[in-house]
Amino acid sequence: MSRKKLTVVGAGHVGAHTALWLALKELGDVVLLDILEGAPQGKSLDLMHASPIEGFDSRVTGTNDYKDTANSDVVIITAGLPRKPGMSRSDLISTNSGIIKGVIEGIGKYSPQAHLLIVTNPLDVMVYAAWKYSGFAPERVMGLSGALDGARLRAFIAMELGVSVEDVQAMVIGGHADEMVPLKRYSTVSGIPIGQFIAPDRLDAILARTKKAGGEIVGLLKTGSAYYAPSAAVAEMAEAIIRDKKRVIPCAAYCNGQYGVKDMFIGVPCVLGTNGVERIIEVSLDADEKKAFDNSVTAIKGLIAELKLG
């Protein structure tokens, strides 16, 4: 049985760290692609030098040529400009949609059966663009949203309570933006609702911090955006697909009536397996949650309109 093949497009901080997580998980051989000559080759060689130390047998190679990505099972797209302080994700639309279009042309030519996992911001809009540009079945196109946002919420809850992150579950739906919707009713510690551990005002502060977590890191770094957690989160999604784990992970998926949303991608709980987004799980939302989710939908629709893709 031949090894699986995973391509990471973009050899910046997010892309290089994604390649690292994928190799550590031994999901298959990894190709790191970038337009910058030498960058993917150098980082891939550096990763290969780490393989005897960490004991992974995934082969990591770097390239500037889409031919080397041929027949990839999963393609993770991290290419694009990162946010700078004072920038919103929507400020990136025109530049990054152009980058996505070029990437999709290369990937579509050489890996027409691949699953596309999008990390580029503004996330929900770039997933929609990737779907439109590629013509791929919508279940094979998805974006990093709740997998990352939920991890951030889980981390904050564990930090607040002094408990293991392994025992914390949290669900964040909606767009990967300030309009995201953390669902505190569906967040637990070893099955116990977090409302039994954390006072309402403190919990509200944690939820608010979760919404702004990406911006908080941008403000601290001053010269870029987060990369450890985003890369780990998208690697988790790739693992669910490659290993057919049927993981329930919130991600930006194509909705065709679920949650009252049609013909757009937004963060919802999904079952991820070998067929990509195999099922969207619809949970009941109370009035406040539904209002927040609808606000998120409206914001994304406005950004999609700016793409003028029809």
Residues annotated as part of the active site? 176
Cα torsion angle, 7, 262, 296, 146, sign: negative
Distance CA 282, CA 178 (A): 22
Query: Dmax of the chain from CA atoms?
Result: 55
CA distance 176 to 266: 8
Residue 223 is which amino acid?
T
Q: Which stretches does DSSP call E strand in the chain? A: 5-9, 29-33, 60-63, 74-77, 115-118, 141-143, 168-173, 181-189, 192-193, 247-256, 262-273, 276-280
Whether the bond between 52 and the residue before it is cis, its omega within 30 degrees of 0, is no
Considering only CA atoms, which of 179, 107, 117 is closest in space to residue 143? Answer: 117
Q: Which two tokens stand for residue 11?
A: 């050899």
